[in-house]
Amino acid sequence: MSKLKIAIQKSGRLKDDSLALLKQCGISVDNGRDQLKVSANNFPLEIFFLRNSDIPQYIEDGVVDLGIVGENLLYEIDSELDVLRSLNFSKCRVSIAVPKNSKFTDIKDFEGKKIATSYPNTTQKFFKSNGVNTEVHAISGSVEIAPNIGLSDAICDIVSTGNTLFNNGLKELFVIMKSQAVLVKQPKPSREVNSLIEQLNFRIGAVLRAKTSKYILMNVPNANIQKVSALLPVLKSPTVLPLAEEGWSSLHSVIDEDDFWNVIDQLKEAGAEGILVAPIEKIIE
């Protein structure tokens, strides 16, 4: 029987978030310290722990079938790998940052300046698209110290919270792109492997949908059920259960978390009472 092979980053936040996602998908993994490959206990899956920059090549060569990487990496290497879905974690942005006391304000101010970065291709594409010639210095690690030691006038790096920039006396000036973790697959999986990919992708979809949704239940006058239901369009139809008090029902549905506070007043105006909101573990569609 074939096993699905997936590559994830061998250390760091992306690794932790990837393993957490697999666990939420019901996949049990005994991840021993410093192991480069482990097998799942309850799903035909092998996990390869690789350097982030190596994952796309392993997928292209068919050594692994799937990989979890950042969108920014795929952009940097001009990858044409098939992205199955965005995973809504490890969010960051690739930005140009300069010293806080810098007088840089416009993109044209960077003409002829030195830019230190771990993403030279991304940096060059950004400035070239804006008609600006810069001197790009490709370095690995601790990019943020480059301006302080005179190596560069600015940097291009990934930014999550901005704390690292602040602590090194830098400010974010331009955002080149926003990025998050994505699931990518090899170009030509076998039929059996592709079936396993679809199974895993289905599970991931159920988990991700649940993270952005809430289970909502409320008491509603029967005459207002249709009006209230129109405010909760997530599922095909709400569940309606009669209450002991005549003329009233309990309405159960799902709502996008981002929409809840936007419609709560409308629900109350429509006659909803005793509104309860609860988290959802999975949504199977």
Residues 164 and 65 in one domain: no
User: Would 284 be classed as within a structural domain?
Assistant: no
Q: Is residue 100 domain-shared with residue 83, that is, in the same domain?
A: no
Contacts of 242 by beta carbon, 8 Å cutoff, 6+ apart: 248, 249, 250
Is 147 part of any domain? Answer: yes
pLDDT at 237: 78
pLDDT beyond 90 at 11: no
56-94: buried (b, 16+ CB within 10 Å) or exposed (e) per residue? bebbbeeebbbbbbbbbbbbbeebebeebeebebbebbb
Q: Are residues 201 and 61 in the same domain?
A: yes
pLDDT score for 32? 58
Which of 156, 191, 210 is where one domain is finished? 210
CATH number at residue 127: 3.40.190.10
Residue 285 lies in a domain: no
Q: Which of 167, 188, 210 is the last residue of a domain?
A: 210
Q: Are residues 76 and 203 in the same domain?
A: yes
**Do 202 and 62 share a structural domain?**
yes
In a domain, 51, yes or no: yes
Q: What pLDDT sits at residue 259?
A: 83
Quickly state the pLDDT bin for 33 (edges 50, 70, 90).
low
Distance of CA 37 to the CA centre of its chain: 24
Q: How far apart are CA 97 and CA 102, in angstroms?
A: 10
Question: Rounded to an integer, what distance in angstroms lies between the CA atom of residue 18 and that of residue 2?
Answer: 22
189 and 242 assigned to the same domain: no
Average pLDDT, the chain: 91
Calpha distance 233→108 (Å, rounded): 48
Rounded Cα–Cα distance for residues 165 and 153 (Å): 14
**Any alpha helices (H) in 70-220, and if so which ranges?**
71-76, 120-129, 163-167, 191-211
Does the pLDDT at position 12 exceed 90? no
Claim to verify: residue 234 and residue 222 sit in the same structural domain: yes
Domain that holds residue 237: 213-279
- Type of residue numbered 228: V
The CATH number covering residue 229 comes to 3.30.70.120
- Is the pLDDT at 199 greater than 90? The verdict is yes
* pLDDT of res. 222: 94
Same domain, 84 and 185: yes
**154 within some domain:** yes
- d(CA 17, CA 82) in angstroms, rounded, equals 21
Q: Of the residues 210, 228, 258, which one is the last residue of a structural domain?
A: 210
Are 11 and 85 members of one domain?
yes
Statement to judge: residues 71 and 203 lie in one domain: yes
Domain count, the chain: 3
Q: Is the pLDDT of residue 234 over 70?
A: no
pLDDT band at 221 (very low <50, low <70, confident <90, very high): very high
pLDDT at 284 over 70: yes
pLDDT at residue 260 is higher than 70: yes
Q: In sequence order, which residues have a C-beta less than 8 Å from that of residue 106 and are 6 or more positions away?
A: none
Check whether residue 203 and residue 158 sit in a common domain. Answer: no
Task: Return the percentage of the chain with pLDDT > 70, whole number.
Answer: 97
Residues 171, 113, single domain; the answer is: yes
